[in-house]
Amino acid sequence: MAVRIRLTETAIKRLRPKEREYTVWDTRLAGFGVRVRTTGRKSFVFHWSMAGKAHRVTLGSTTILTLDKALARCASLQADLHGGKPLPGMRDSARDTPTLREFITGPWKTACYDRYKASTKNFLDHALKRQLLPAFGSLGIDRIDKISVVRWFAKYSRKSPGGANKALGLLHQIMNQAIACGVVSRNPASGIRKNAGRKLNRFLSEEEIRRLNQTLDEWVSARPKNSQNADIVRLLLHTGCRRGEILNLQWREVHGDTLHLTNAKTGPRKVFLNRSAQELIARQPRMGSPWVFPSPLDFTRPRKDINAFWAAIRKRAGLDDVRLHDLRHTVASQAVLQGVSLPVVARLLGHSKAVMTLRVYSHVADREVEAAAERIGGVLSELTQC
């Protein structure tokens, strides 16, 4: 049964969400009412019939539009209808919120997407195109519920646990922005446990470092065309830089014993080069390309084929569980074992947050504690011998 009351600001505030959404109609103006979502969101609506077909438009959220303005707008629409005028710009649909597709190309794009670096946008575009838009793009953003998110996440996790984690994080951020814009009141991506990830504490031992270097020498000796890829791997190990920082390195960023990176992950930063790193860069041929490591197919672009090369090298070296990023961890671990302080390691790696450096410290500390326990045990064993 339709509920009709005299709508006032106080009466609207008292309306509470129920298990199903409902609409309360005003007794003064026909077709004017307040729709209450299960989420608690309230909107002014106007209903009318034409040629036996029901129509509805949403005038606006009660948190944005006052009752007086909503009444005035509704009265104006009624006058237009009686005069036979169309309602330009009004949406004739059952939803009063944007779809996910509309939201990410509007408010979210302006507030979030446009602020990211190009490399991050590549991931965002991929996650949106392949996952989020096919699953939720046509839904009103307030229609995305936790059950549907859990089902989507579980299905994607079976294929790619890491990718599912990242896509879920993106959806969580989009929904948080929707909350900030007053579009929804709850985040359906909150409270969902992500897939367990691989612990990022893999470091190369000194023996593994020597084995890797030997494998690179043997590989390049048999395949000279791979010399640049080998030097990229060596440079990652000598600098602790991120893969993208070396692959996208330009000659204008090379200044003798330092690199002045202009597009690093955490913003512009200076990388100090040891002698070996300087020699690696100095021996790269200048072929009229702005890139230190240009693509062999197009000198106007940076090299991108390092992944296949690394997969072959690590298999040959017996380092199947080692990622390129673990070379960065290895640099950090060696710095810690040499007694380098946390602030210096943070600057060496270009960490913007101390927690990232602390993570390295905690993992390396386990080795130091184990070694200390062995040393102490040896001393105590000698002292306790009768």
Tell me if the domain spanning 3-82 has CATH number 3.30.160.390. yes
Backbone dihedral region of 135: left (phi > 0), alpha (psi from -120 to 50 degrees) or beta?
alpha
17-21, 220-224, 280-284 — which is least confidently predicted?
17-21
**pLDDT value of position 354:** 63
76-85, 128-137, 367-376 — which is least confidently predicted?
367-376
Residue 119 has pLDDT above 60, yes or no: yes
**pLDDT value of position 328:** 87
Q: What is the pLDDT of residues 227-268, one digit of tens each?
A: 999 999 999 999 989 999 999 999 999 999 999 998 887 778
Average pLDDT over residues 298-314: 91
Please state which architecture CATH assigns to domain 206-325.
Answer: Orthogonal Bundle (1.10)
Angstrom distances, CA of residue 134 to CA of 100, 101, 128, 138, 169:
10, 10, 8, 8, 17
**Quick one: DSSP state of residue 4?**
E
Average pLDDT over residues 19-37: 89
Q: Can you tell me the distance from the alpha carbon of 264 to that of 254, in angstroms, rounded to the nearest whole number? A: 14
The H or E element containing residue 346 is helix 342-349
Contacts of 85 (CB under 8 A, 6+ apart): none
Greater confidence, 48 or 356? 48
DSSP string for residues in 100-135: HHHHHTTHHHHHTGGGS-HHHHHHHHHHIIIIIHHH
Q: Can you tell me the distance from the alpha carbon of 20 to that of 90, in angstroms, rounded to the nearest whole number? A: 25
Angstrom distances, CA of residue 297 to CA of 3, 72, 289, 302, 339:
71, 65, 12, 10, 44
- Look at strands 3-5 and 22-26 and give their pairing: parallel
Q: Can you tell me the distance from the alpha carbon of 207 to that of 280, in angstroms, rounded to the nearest whole number? A: 22
pTM for the model: 0.57
**pLDDT value of position 88:** 44
Average pLDDT over residues 1-24: 89
Greater confidence, 340 or 355? 340
Greater confidence, 84 or 45? 45
Structure tokens at 136: 């939720």
Q: What is the pLDDT of residues 287-299, one digit of tens each?
A: 889 999 999 888 8
Residue 68: count of CB within 10 angstroms of its CB: 9
Q: Please, what is the average pLDDT of the chain?
A: 85
Residue 347 has pLDDT above 90, yes or no: no
Structure tokens at 178: 């929707």
Residue 2 has pLDDT above 90, yes or no: no
**pLDDT value of position 84:** 63
Greater confidence, 146 or 360? 146
Residue 94 has pLDDT above 50, yes or no: no
Q: What is the pLDDT of residues 150-165, one digit of tens each?
A: 999 999 999 999 999 9
Average pLDDT over residues 213-235: 95
CATH topology identical between 3-82 and 206-325: no
User: What residues does each domain of the chain span?
Assistant: 3-82, 100-180, 206-325
31-40, 188-197, 286-295, 335-344 — which is least confidently predicted?
335-344
Q: Can you tell me the distance from the alpha carbon of 303 to that of 122, in angstroms, rounded to the nearest whole number? A: 17
**pLDDT value of position 341:** 76
Q: Can you tell me the distance from the alpha carbon of 108 to that of 132, in angstroms, rounded to the nearest whole number? A: 14
Average pLDDT over residues 87-97: 48
End-to-end alpha carbon distance in the chain: 94
Percentage of residues in the chain having pLDDT higher than 70: 85
pLDDT range class, residue 74, cuts 50, 70, 90:
confident
**pLDDT value of position 355:** 64
